[in-house]
Amino acid sequence: MLKGWKKITHDDIEKILKYNSTLDTVEYFNSIIYQIYSKMIYKYINNKLVIAKASAIMGTYSIIKFYGDNTLNDSLLENKFTLRGHDIKGKNDKFGNEYIYDTNECIKLEGSKFSPFRKALSKYKNRVKIENGFHDDIYEILKLYPNHQSKLFKLIIEYPYLVTVTRVYIDNQILGFSIVENINAYNGIIIQELFNKDMGVRYASYIVHYCNCLNNKSKMLNAGGSRNKNIKFAKDKLRPSKLLKIKRLVSSNKLTRDEWFYFRNNML
């Protein structure tokens, strides 16, 4: 079980796309771009694709299965793997529940739930413009954020065929942008959604998110979890359709140091 894993690279995209095309419920780590960014690994076990992430922190070793066929779960647990997912019975995952947005629900703007969106959009009315695709204007926003956002964007632009890029302008000045990785016809993952904090536009996040929904009609968009109160607040206010509960089940047996190095030394 520990032998023959491979780091996910550009060469593996087609096989993962095929797997993603069958998914009804999408988790954040179904993002191929984020799998590559996070240096995740995969292996076929009994001809079934399994994707995982390995880590070694302060002498503690773990391999976490992020997705794959659940018929393999018992065997993975016996081999000291941790299981993670919305269909796992265990403890709450440290990243928290994942935020799912229904683009059609947001576009309708019906009810008190979406009153902040209506207020933001009515204030700027015909001054808002949507553009598609990558543009140098995006770098004006990235420079306002920590360096890891630029690092992620640098990877994203290598895979333009996987994403829908929405740029939002007010009076021809970029207000923000959103990048959605298209998992299949009905699901996407919001990899980046940032706005220009220097413009001083109140409700900027509402306007950018609404425009992103307009550009991704009839999809459920997963924006991932929240590890702190600020991220939770930012995602809550965009009115998720639901929260996807993610659980984690840890094997009762721990990987040893020798097993860890056997795993590392036998990667393809």
pTM for the model: 0.95
Q: Return the amino acid letter for 21.
A: S
Contacts of 172 (CB under 8 A, 6+ apart): 129
A 10 A CB-CB count for 25 gives 13
pLDDT reported for residue 55: 95
Domains of the chain: 6-95+246-265 (3.40.630.30), 98-244 (3.40.630.30)
pLDDT reported for residue 76: 96
End-to-end CA distance of the chain: 13
pLDDT reported for residue 125: 85
pLDDT reported for residue 211: 98
Q: Return the amino acid letter for 125.
A: K
pLDDT reported for residue 95: 86
pLDDT reported for residue 54: 97
- DSSP letter (8 states) at residue 239: -
pLDDT reported for residue 68: 87
pLDDT reported for residue 22: 92
In angstroms, the CA 129 to CA 16 distance is 34
Residuewise pLDDT in 10s, the chain (268 residues)? 999 999 999 999 999 999 999 999 999 999 999 999 999 999 999 999 999 999 999 999 999 999 888 999 999 999 999 999 999 999 999 888 999 999 999 999 999 999 999 999 999 988 999 999 999 999 999 999 999 999 999 999 999 999 999 999 999 999 999 999 999 999 999 999 999 989 989 899 999 999 999 999 999 999 999 888 999 999 999 999 999 999 999 999 999 999 999 999 999 9
